[in-house]
Amino acid sequence: MRDGGKKVGGAYGLDNLWKGDVDLQYFSKWGVAWQLTQQAFRSLCASPFTSILALLTITVVMLLVGALLLVSQHTYGLMADAGRGLTISVYLKDAAAESEVAGLKQAIQAAPQVAEVRYISKDEALKSFHKSLGEQAGLLEGLETDNPLPASVEVTLGQERLDQEGFEQFAASFRENPAVESIQYDRGLVGQAAALFHFFGSVGLGAAALLLLLAAFIITNTIRLMLYARRHEIVIMRMVGATAGFVIAPCLIEGCALGLLGAVAGLVVLYFLFLLLTGLLAQLELVRAILPQLTFLPWYYVFLVILMGVAVGAAGSFMAVRRLADE
């Protein structure tokens, strides 16, 4: 027989082989996970051009997402500064008992948004008004005995975020107090600050969502390209009994790895750009005045960007491989 194999007693010895001494040891679950991870990295290395291109694009996208967070972080700081020092005047009824006023002050002071509470008596209010009129102060003569100005509590807000609805609620919560006559604050400033917050918040959120969608799209297409390159291998894998999980898992790992590496690389680039830019901006007086302290993203934002990278990677690769699960 030409080109044939080693015959044992007229046979190839298949039965002996199957009954042979090779002990088929199987991987543990961790062993299988490690095997699939190795397969994922082999696949990434098998298409270096596609992998590097995808990684670079995801790096840029995650860099932009990080930059958005950085900008929003500093905008948030600026807005909080704008809100800081905003005051609410709580005018008191003349008939309010001392204990009621003390209770009101205590309640206001307990609110987390409040930085300072100052009681202004009727006399102090009149003196202050008197002072503000300057040379015209003579107009107030005679009012000392019958002071029409109410006592008030001046509430100065702290660093809590300005929110139109929250602000209204905060003010309204004291309106029902029996000691309170009326409440006044600058609605215009509060509204503007809140609108700015909403604008920056919406734009930032929209842009970040778009960028993350773009990253997911890139990962989906990268994995699709890799799957296309491996289509014969996948068919053969399925023919010899590979489960869908065995085929899909390396792709998901590839997607997560691309997302993770892209996020880390994006953050590293962002950090160096931040160092470079802060060095340049610090020389500008205006920037120093508005933003005396430029800081990089806090650790939880860094963690968030990395987490987003991994999540986008997993989602993108899942989109690419989901059909394989049913085949």
Partner 1 sequence: MINFSNVHKIYPPDQPALVSVDLKVRERDFVFVAGASGAGKSTLLKLMFGAERATRGEVLVVGRNLSEVGAQGIAYLRREIGIIFQDYKLLTRRSVIDNVAFGLEVLGVKKKPRYDLAMQLLEVLGLADRAHSLPPTLSGGEQQRVAIARALIHKPRLILADEPTGNLDPDMTKVVFDLLLEANAAGVTVLVATHNLAVIEELNLRTIVLDNGKIIGNFQSPRALG
Residues 30, 136, 146, 232: which binds partner 1 (CB under 8 A)? 232
What is the distance, to the nearest Å, from the Cα of residue 153 to the centroid of all Cα atoms in its chain? Answer: 37
Binding residue for partner 1, selected from 110, 240, 280, 289, defined by CB under 8 A: 240
Residue 303 binds partner 1, judged by CB under 8 A: no
Binding mask 17-46 for partner 1 (x = CB under 8 A): xx-x-xxxxxx---xx--x-----------
Of 241, 280, 285, 289, the one binding partner 1 by CB under 8 A: 241
289 binds partner 1 per the rule CB under 8 A: no
Whichever of 125 and 242 has its CB closer to partner 1, that residue is 242
- Is residue 233 near partner 1 by the rule CB under 8 A? yes
DSSP, res 239: H
Site membership for partner 1, residue 133 (CB under 8 A): no
Q: What is the DSSP letter of 322?
A: G
Based on CB atoms, which residue is closest to partner 1, 47 or 222? 47
**Residue 261 C-beta: closest distance to partner 1, Å:** 25
| Tokens read off for 232 | 């014969």
Q: Is residue 266 packed enough to be buried (19+ CB in 10 Å), middle (13-18) or exposed (0-12)?
A: buried
Cβ of residue 8: shortest distance to partner 1, in angstroms? 8
- 74 neighbors 291 (Cβ within 8 angstroms): yes
Q: Is 134 exposed, middle or buried (0-12, 13-18, 19+ CB in 10 A)?
A: exposed
Interface pick for partner 1 out of 238, 264, 291, 304 (rule CB under 8 A): 238
Is residue 139 within the footprint of partner 1 (CB under 8 A)? Answer: no
How many residues touch partner 1 under the rule CB under 8 A: the total is 40
Q: Which is nearer to partner 1, 235 or 290 (CB)?
A: 235
Least Å distance, CB 20 to partner 1, is 7
Separation between Cα atoms, residue 273 and residue 275, nearest integer Å: 5
Residue 157 makes CB contacts below 8 A (sequence gap 6+) with 83, 84, 85, 86, 87, 88, 113, 114, 115
| Stretch of residues binding partner 1 (CB under 8 A), selected from 10-18, 73-81, 168-176, 178-186 | 10-18
- Interacting stretch for partner 1, rule CB under 8 A, among 13-21, 186-194, 253-261, 287-295? 13-21
Backbone angles phi, psi at 23, to 5 degrees: -90, 110
Q: Which of residues 84-113 bind partner 1 (CB under 8 A)?
A: none
Q: Other C-beta atoms within 10 Å of 113: how many?
A: 20
Range 155-194, binding partner 1 (CB under 8 A): none
Taking CB under 8 A as the criterion, the residue among 208, 237, 291, 294 binding partner 1 is 237
- DSSP letter, residue 30: H
CA distances, 257 to each of 65, 223, 265, 277 (Å): 18, 12, 12, 30
- Mask for 113-132, x = binds partner 1 (CB under 8 A): --------------------
Binding range to partner 1, per CB under 8 A, among 16-24, 49-57, 168-176, 202-210:
16-24
The yes or no reply on residue 323 touching partner 1 (CB under 8 A) is no
- What does the DSSP assignment read for 179-237? TEEEEEE-HHHHHHHHHHHHHHHHHHHHHHHHHHHHHHHHHHHHHHHHHHHTHHHHHHH
Looking at residue 293, the DSSP 8-state letter turns out to be -
Contacts to partner 1 by CB under 8 A:
1-6, 8, 11-15, 17-18, 20, 22-27, 31-32, 35, 232-233, 235-244, 246, 325-327
